[in-house]
Structures are given as C-alpha cells and as structure tokens.
Amino acid sequence: MVQGTSSHAGKSILATALCRIFAQDGFQVAPFKAQNMSLNSHATPDGAEIGRSQAVQAAAAMTGPRVEMNPVLLKPEGERQSQVVVMGQPHAVASAQEYQGLKPAIWKVVTSALGSLRAEYEVIVIEGAGSPVEINLKMHDIANMRVALHAGAPVLLVGDIDRGGVFAQVVGTMALLEPEEKALVKGLVINKFRGDPSLLAAGLTLLEEHTGTSVAGVIPYFSDIHIPEEDSLGLTSGYRSDQDEAVEVAIIRLPHIANFDDFDPLHHEPTVRVRYVDRAEEFGNPDLVIIPGSKTTVADLHWLRTKGLAEHILTARQRGRPVIGICAGYQMLGMRLLDPDGVESSKAETPGLGLLKASTTFQEQKATHLVRGRVVDGRGLLSGCQDAEVSAYEIHMVSLPISIHYTPLLWRLAQDSTWTQPTVP
C-alpha cells in the first residue's frame, strides 16, 4: 500500500509505477483505492464509474478497469456536499456529516471489493487518500490505515520534498500513527527531489533515527510523467511555449472543473501556449477559448457571469475566435438549461450563453457509456479529420434533445453565417 503525508505527494504516480513493475515481472496485478474524491472519472466497459487514476493504474497493470478497483468515488458538488458513487453507481448526495453516517455500510462494500480482487489477482497495489493521520477524520477512516490493517499490507509512506517541510511531514505522520499502524510502515519515500541526492544523506539518516523506519528511496522530480491528475492541485497557473507564434489557448478554470486532463495533449504541444483563466482581467486575446467540464453546471455558469467571463467569451466569439465547450461547458454554450426535477440546482430553468441552438435537460438517471464515433464533417478545427474514428466515454445526467448526440468530446461551434451573435444574457 502506498500512503502519503499529504495530498499530491505522488501516491497515484508511485502506485501506477508499481502496477507496471509488478506486471512486467510477470504477476497478475490490480490497483485498488477504497475511496477517491475526484471530479476526474472514467467509465468502465460495463457502464460503471470509477476514479480516473484507478483506470490509468489498471492500464499500467495491463488489465481492464473494473468497479472493484475504486468502490467509493466522491464527486464534490460545492463546498459542503458530494455525490457519493458506490460500486460505480450514484448512491446519494450527502454532506460531510451525512457521509459519516454511511461509513459502516460502505466499509462492508470496500472490504468486499478488495476481497474480490485478492481472490483473482496475485498482487494488489493499494493507494491511500490524503494523509492517514488527519486527526478529525481518522476515526472514520476507510481509505488509509484501516485498509492496510484489514489487508495486512506493508505500507510505503511518501512525502513531497518539492513543496518543503518533508522531514516534519514524515516525522509528524509517524508520530501520530498508532503502534500497530506504525508497524506496517516498511519504508519511507522522498518524492520530487531536485538536485544532488548526496546533499540529503545527513537528513535521511536523521529521518531514520527519528522514525525507526528505513528510507526506501529518493525519487527525482520528473516533468515528463503524463498521468492524469486526480484533483486540481496539480493544475499550474499556465504553460508557456518558447515559440513566439504559439497558438494561445485560454481554458476557463471553473470552480468545480472536472476531467481537466482532457487538456493534457495541449500542454505537450510545443506550438501551443495554455493559460488557465479565472478572472476577467486575465482573459486577454486568446486564439481559442475552452469552457471545460464541471460537476455543478448551473452554479459555474452563474460564476462565469458574476466574474465577467461570460461577456469576454461572447466577445471573443463575436471577433471570430473559436469557442469549445466540453461536457458542462458544452451545455453552457446552449440556449437554456432545464432542471425540472431539481437534479442539480433549485432553478427549473437557466439561460445559457446562447452560442449553440441546443437545450440541456438534467435527468435523475446517470448515463455512463463507452462510445465510438466517426467525424462526419472535417471543417474548421476538425479540418483533415473527416472519417477519423474516435473512442471515448460519456458520463452525464442530462439529455440533449438536439440533432447532434452528446458525448464529452471537443465540439466546435458550427460556422453558420446565418446565426447572429446574441446579446450578453
């Protein structure tokens, strides 16, 4: 099991690496994370929903993604509540306090899922969540040391030295563990180190003396590991191209941005400059605007308007700049969003940005599918792509009663000369 002294310590990447290493050594390997909090999710072949990081780890393990690998997925819907996805299906929308009451039943699901994987695979690489010693959360833990104790799993404790304070993090974490938990920690890992590792020697010796646990290794900082981030902590303020004539892409950083790893290919293009924008004064004059996905479409659309970003997006389109909407961003580009059953908000109807002749209706039943498609019209941004086949998946709780079937892919605005620019709603 891989646990961390904090979020974004590198647990997911280390677990992914271990999955591939064990698989290359000839073992049948599966990843497991009891509880994942992330808006980056993935559809399994049987229509279930799991965290994106476990799907990537399954690929690294050379096996197919399945719901047992991530039995509980929490998808935040604002500051105080989350959609609780259990065994790949929406179970409830709960506040943090309400979720604690669900833990006894959910723990049985967690152990059952882990048991199924252990019965079928030779090696299970388990990933923890956040820190194992958050004092206010530890008594209700179902993702860290409780899992390790249940499975009898040896633990690697990972600390991120790039953010500073790693020695205090590791020593403090070990000090707050119960004796039986501490006994499971078989090695410490210092992650994201820059520079000469010999300079760490004295510090590592002191670390081993303070914790009584060996340092298993120091992992250098890698800038070329392109694995999807689990949460928005991994988003940087922007990516810069060295080329003067690079295409500038402005991605709206919505408060509840989801599946933002859709943009990873853009970050790796040498002729593209990517900026994440969350203030009107940062909008600038981009060559392309992207409104990403969101777990709270209506709330984030309201945020776009209050921040003045909606007006900038409409003005950019009026000036001929392409605007792309992905998932919720696509919904925002339409004429209106209808929520008659109160699935996402208390508003039965919300006006969209009015750039697409489409309406969205939220439905209670979530759709999760693997899909295949073909580009039927290679114009504009899709120039040269006609007849190209696309494999993807869709995860949504909406129906779009329009001629174009909705999938969470990049949809360009139709170049319709008869369509006039609407006024700012």
234 vs 103 pLDDT, higher one: 103
Q: What pLDDT score was predicted for residue 408? A: 35
Q: What pLDDT score was predicted for residue 83? A: 86
Q: What pLDDT score was predicted for residue 41? A: 84
- Cα separation values, 107 from 111, 132, 141, 157, 184, Å: 6, 16, 9, 23, 20
Residue 221 has which token pair?
């900082």
Q: How confident is the model at residue 230 (pLDDT cuts 50, 70, 90)?
A: low
Largest interatomic CA distance in the chain:
74
Digit-coded pLDDT (tens) for 127-161: 999 999 998 888 889 999 999 999 999 999 999 99
0.85 exceeded by the pTM? no
Digit-coded pLDDT (tens) for 302-316: 999 999 999 999 999
Cα distance between residue 285 and residue 266, in whole Å: 18
Residue 62 in contact with residue 99, Cβ under 8 Å? no
Q: How confident is the model at residue 236 (pLDDT cuts 50, 70, 90)?
A: low
Closest CA to 83 of 67, 70, 99, 69: 99
Digit-coded pLDDT (tens) for 364-373: 777 777 888 8
Residue 425 has pLDDT above 70, yes or no: no
Digit-coded pLDDT (tens) for 258-279: 878 788 888 888 899 999 999 9
Highest mean pLDDT among 150-159, 189-198, 333-342, 345-354: 150-159
363 vs 361 pLDDT, higher one: 361
